[in-house]
Amino acid sequence: MRFVDEYRDPRAARSILDRIVELAGDDHFKFMEVCGGHTHTIYRHGIEHVLPEGVELVHGPGCPVCVIPMGRIDDAIAVAETPGVVFTSFGDMLRVPGGHGSLMDAKARGADVRFVYSPLDALRIASETPEQVVFFAVGFETTAPSTAVTLLRARDLGLTNFSVFCNHVTIVPPIKAILESPDLRLDGFLGPGHVSTVVGNRPYRFVPEQYGKPLVTTGFEPLDILHGIMMLLRQIREGRCEVENQYTRVVRDEGNPRALAVLAEVFELRPHFEWRGLGFISQSALKLRPEFAAFDAELRYSVPGVRVADPKACQCGEVLKGVIKPWECKVFGTACTPETPIGTCMVSSEGACAAYYNFGRLHREAAVTLGRRG
Amino acid sequence: MCLGIPGQVVELLDSHEHLARVEVSGVGRVVNIGLLEDEQLAPGNWVLIHVGFAMSKIDEDEARRALEGLELMGRAYVEEIDAFASSQIEIDLPEEVRAWE
Ligand code: SF4
């Protein structure tokens, strides 16, 4: 268990692992970690190599950069290339390829595309310029409240040159879609940590109640991940099936009521939204309520709104559904690298392919050299 | 964008805008604390910050753990801190802006 020595508390890690080995016995378990942050930790710390053979982790759809479909990137570029527009975005989104290149390419062609850390940075830019400022909003419930607060602030300030191209998505529908998918047999979920600080643990109850799978909301340290896996196995062995919270240090059952209230005030559900790899999922994304129409970039600008198929070589869809591992994609590490991404999963550090490219391969090689879990 | 970074509240600013000055790994910036209004934040408290907003109150021990975990992330963490350092969310609305409306 060489990798364990690098963990913050190797003794605790070893004892949790012993318990995992004992609980797993000779059976095979497949658990999905929903969140890209988990995927990153798992590859960064070689967690899959310290787990017993019978406990397999598959990556889920919880990386917001990864799930945005090509067509929406093209829409973003169309807005960015509108004369007089300053287009603002989180850094990761600038490199995501659409059907006609990325926002970076649009910038190179002369569009005014700027990187921002926060939607409030975009709002500040709008307060300082007469030009139209558009913010490219992406993310799950972790970042959606920030966009909502920013829109309320824009309204209070009476700014007429600020709008949002809204691509916020919600966490529950894709989990449901995966549970409905015939491709995958799962035994339980490591629930997302940060999203749950906003939504709480209650929205996941359908997972045990309707689908008979346990879910444990889990933190981001290696020890958290191991602990979450142990809690899943313990539920199964004790014949329980429920939502449990491993990350009580940060996540409360009721979530953050204020953030939820702000979300409800500013956004409503879209009837449909396309997810990369998962296709159209109903009521899975947010749009601005009619009261905020003046701030809605989709209404202000003409966006093509065309569905663009993923490149043939790209297997992000299968990666996002947990059907294949990153290294099983044919272009992984050859045509598709973090420097020249073909698919979204190679762009964000929380994308499974980028996380595996940056860290996982080394652990895998080390594990092979040392003999598995040597 | 999904990385929550731990910061310590240094000073509460204008209460209408729900802003506070926080320090993250020695970098001081202003963030919005409106979503934690019920927590009665005070200087010295620790929070997890996402895209310029304090999203949860945490204790010092959790802040230290989270920071250690992030530092191990290498480039992703450096990029996040750089992004945080580039942020400037205070709006001082000058007269001319009103004139544009
Ligand atoms: S290697 Fe590239 S194209 Fe293949 S699944 Fe990963 S990100 Fe997508």
Question: How many residues are listed for chain B in this entry?
Answer: 101
Q: Which atom of ligand 1 is nearest to the CA of A353?
A: 6
DSSP A94-121: HT--BTTB-HHHHHHTT-EEEE-SSHHH
Chain B residue numbers with beta carbons less than 8 Å from the beta carbon of A262 are: 35
Q: What is the rounded distance in angstroms from the CA atom of residue B81 to the CA atom of residue B87? A: 10
Tokens of A269: 């559900």
Residue at token pair 């909003």: A137
pLDDT band, residue B97 (cuts 50/70/90): very low
Beta strand A29-35 pairing with A188-191: parallel
Residue B92 is predicted with a pLDDT of 63
ipTM value of the model?
0.85
Beta strand A162-168 pairing with A188-191: unpaired
Averaged pLDDT in 10-residue chunks for chain A of 374 residues: 67 91 95 90 87 91 86 95 96 88 95 96 94 96 95 95 97 91 87 92 95 94 93 96 93 93 97 88 95 96 84 84 87 89 84 85 67 52
Residue A45 is predicted with a pLDDT of 84
C-alpha neighbours within 13 Å on the C-beta side of residue B72: 21
Give the end-to-end CA distance of chain B in Å, rounded to a whole number.
Answer: 32
Residue A2 is predicted with a pLDDT of 55
C-alpha pair distances (Å), A361 with each of A352, A364, A367: 12, 5, 10
C-alpha neighbours within 13 Å on the C-beta side of residue A56: 15
Residue B96 is predicted with a pLDDT of 46
- Do A139 and B2 count as a contact with CB atoms less than 8 A apart? yes
pLDDT band, residue B44 (cuts 50/70/90): very high
Question: Taking a contact as any Cβ pair under 8 Å apart, which residues of chain A between 92 and 111 contact chain B?
Answer: 92
Q: What is the rounded distance in angstroms from the CA atom of residue A149 to the CA atom of residue A267? A: 11
> Considering the entire predicted model, what is its pTM?
0.90
Q: Among residues A227, A232, A221, which one has the least CA distance to residue A42? A: A221
- Do A349 and B73 count as a contact with CB atoms less than 8 A apart? yes
The residue whose CA has the least distance to atom 5 of ligand 1 is A316
Q: What is the rounded distance in angstroms from the CA atom of residue B47 to the CA atom of residue B62? A: 10
Residue A316 is predicted with a pLDDT of 86
Contact A50, A17 (CB under 8 A): yes
Q: What is the rounded distance in angstroms from the CA atom of residue B47 to the CA atom of residue B44? A: 10
Distance from CA of A352 to the nearest CA of B (A): 14
Handedness of CA B83, A144, A70, A328 (dihedral sign): positive
Task: Note the Cα A35 to chain centre separation in Å.
Answer: 6
Contact A207, A189 (CB under 8 A): yes
Residue B95 is predicted with a pLDDT of 47
Distance from CA of A280 to the nearest CA of B (A): 23
- Do A250 and B58 count as a contact with CB atoms less than 8 A apart? yes
Distance from CA of A363 to the nearest CA of B (A): 15
Ligand 1 centre from A274 Cα, in Å? 18
Question: Backbone phi, then psi, for A221, in 5-degree steps?
Answer: -80, 155
Facing residue for B89 by CB, picked from A64, A124, A358: A124
Helix crossing, A10-24 with A222-237: angle to 10°?
30
The residue whose CA has the least distance to atom 6 of ligand 1 is A353
Ligand 1 centre from A215 Cα, in Å? 27
